[in-house]
Structure 1
Amino acid sequence: MARIDLNADLGEGFGVWRLGDDDAMLGIVTSANVACGFHAGDPAGLLSVCRLAARRGVRIGAQVSYRDLAGFGRRFIDVAPDDLLADVVYQIGALHGLAQSVGSTVSYVKPHGALYNTIVTHAEQAGAVAEAVRTVDAGLPVLGLAGSVFFDEAQRRGLRTVSEAFADRAYRPDGRLVSRREPGAVLDDPAAVAERVLSMVTDGAVTAIDGSVVEVHVESVCVHGDSPGAVQIASAVRDRLLGAGIELGAFS
């Protein structure tokens, strides 16, 4: 039987401002990419998400980002590699402390937003992120895009790489994500998204925004927690995969 991980970005509220339904999403996903305070999240909120994830047996991952609260981590920052390395080490350490306090731990690392997209091709920043993870714990897997420079740098340092696909994001013909600034970048039909994910998982392929077919390698599927109708989309994806006989579980 095939097995797939479902992950979602959680803990992205700040103070009285809440984003997404973390409680509901933690009843659906098997891995939680928890913000670390640089693009979103405050300590009390992150602690709450970690506590709930621990109670429900959901794996906690550190979602590291540029230091960009105002831009939600979706703006490229030309940060020096040494500074980026320190920022990523800091974020992993902060979240680990919160997770440890509720009897859990940080089990993997996933870059967020602009940092995620940048290190697909930006070798210096990719190397800095990979080295930061290795410095903290060389046993931590990293989630990212198959074929990226980030995966090259991570593998060079002996890190395990976990390939992910995005349920509700449009793909370019080159296998990268369509920019959120472009029309059609975010998909919102739960049934269509669920069928698309099933095709990714079973066929290893996805239809790009221009109609071409792109090969994808999927060990984990991201269902965004901040999209409109996120819970409905995630539920549809989960139900469709289970209905097709696919087991859901955190990657081992």
Structure 2
Amino acid sequence: MTPVSLDLNADLGEGFGRWRLTDDEALLSVVTSANVACGFHAGDAPTMRRVCALAAERGVRIGAQVSYRDLAGFGRRSMDVPAAELAAEVAYQIGALDVFARAAGSRVSYVKPHGALYNRLVHDEEQAAAVVEGVRLAGGSLPVLGLPGSRFLGVADRAGLPAVPEAFADRAYTPQATLVPRSQEGAVISDAHAVVERAVGMAVSGEVRAVDGQPVAVRARSLCVHGDTPGAVRLAHRVRTALEAAEIRVEAFA
């Protein structure tokens, strides 16, 4: 059954100092939700302030993209952080971003883990509980984005946080409906036609072809297009246009 609507999100603010990775202004004209880096894997105070102001101006929902403290590794290295420390660091990141969101007349509306933390939370119940504790400490009952069927969404749901299942248009899936690790060849799908086709397929049928060619269930309320891939802005436009052509309303999740 085709969903009535689908959120379109992208990772933004992934720069530091004079270095910028994502075309934030252009992507904010396409997406409905912005996952803003909070300084631990990328981003700094001026970047967070700038992206929040742009997002608020365009009516795009602001989300805190929390991460392990790993600037050198761009948050893509799994770390064994004690639960209490991880909870505090998640709350810290959300609080930092919320200052700039509120200064722009908006607020942090949801939380999405980044990189290695996102993938760790699929199976690690202890780390999932720590992130949920951090979210509750900083933002009460903020919604969280995660992989469908993950421990993270299960823990969040039991804790009373709205759990929003997410799919990825430009990432390969395993037969277990998890993301293929970036260390493996073919983990990121660069063919624009394939990305658009997969995005519409997931939205319409709730399925995607895994790396072994078999269909796997991926029922999601939000769809991610990565902002750091080559041609990201043009690709995001193509994905949104194709979704709307398939009579799917692109709007922020409720």
Q: Name the TM-score class by shorter chain.
A: over 0.9
Q: CA deviation at 1:171?
A: 0.3
> Which of 144, 147, 150 is 2:149 aligned to?
147
Give the corresponding residue for 1:12: 14
Measure the CA separation in 1 of the matches of 2:45 and 2:134: 22
Give the corresponding residue for 1:234: 236
Q: CA deviation at 1:20?
A: 1.7
Measure the CA separation in 2 of the matches of 1:97 and 1:84: 20
Unaligned runs of 5+ in 1: none
Q: CA deviation at 1:137?
A: 2.6
> Which of 108, 112, 115 is 1:113 aligned to?
115
| SS of structure 1 residue aligned to 2:6 | strand
Q: CA deviation at 1:243?
A: 1.0
| SS of structure 2 residue aligned to 1:95 | helix
TM-score, normalized by length of structure 1? 0.98
> Which of 157, 160, 171 is 1:158 aligned to?
160
Aligned-CA RMSD value: 0.9
> Which of 63, 73, 76 is 1:71 aligned to?
73
Measure the CA separation in 2 of the matches of 1:97 and 1:241: 34
Alignment of 1:110-189 (within 5 A): 110-189=112-191
| SS of structure 2 residue aligned to 1:82 | helix
Measure the CA separation in 2 of the matches of 1:139 and 1:107: 10
Measure the CA separation in 2 of the matches of 1:189 and 1:27: 22
Identity of aligned residues (%): 60
> Which of 80, 83, 88 is 1:81 aligned to?
83
User: Number of paired residues?
Assistant: 252
> Which of 195, 199, 202 is 1:200 aligned to?
202
Residue type at the aligned position of 1:50: C
**Structure 1 segments of 4+ aligned residues over 4 angstroms from their partners:** none
Per-residue displacement from partner, 1:211-243 (whole Å, max 9, x unpaired)? 011001110000000011111211110010011
Q: CA deviation at 1:191?
A: 2.0
Please tell me whether the aligned partners of residues 166 and 223 of structure 1 are also in contact (alpha carbons under 8 angstroms): yes
More off after superposition, 188-197 vs 50-59? 188-197
Q: CA deviation at 1:204?
A: 0.6
TM-score, normalized by length of structure 2? 0.97
Please tell me whether the aligned partners of residues 138 and 158 of structure 1 are also in contact (alpha carbons under 8 angstroms): no
State yes or no: 1:39 paired with 2:67: no
Please tell me whether the aligned partners of residues 92 and 138 of structure 2 are also in contact (alpha carbons under 8 angstroms): no
Measure the CA separation in 2 of the matches of 1:200 and 1:141: 22
Give the corresponding residue for 1:62: 64
Residue type at the aligned position of 1:161: A
Measure the CA separation in 2 of the matches of 1:3 and 1:54: 21
Measure the CA separation in 2 of the matches of 1:161 and 1:155: 6
Measure the CA separation in 2 of the matches of 1:104 and 1:149: 30
Please tell me whether the aligned partners of residues 15 and 43 of structure 2 are also in contact (alpha carbons under 8 angstroms): yes
More off after superposition, 47-56 vs 149-158? 149-158
Measure the CA separation in 2 of the matches of 1:228 and 1:75: 22
Per-residue displacement from partner, 1:106-160 (whole Å, max 9, x unpaired)? 0000000000000110111100001111222332100001111111111111111
Measure the CA separation in 1 of the matches of 2:242 and 2:189: 17
Please tell me whether the aligned partners of residues 94 and 139 of structure 2 are also in contact (alpha carbons under 8 angstroms): no
Per-residue displacement from partner, 1:17-72 (whole Å, max 9, x unpaired)? 11021111000000000000000001101100000000000000000000000000
| SS of structure 2 residue aligned to 1:221 | strand
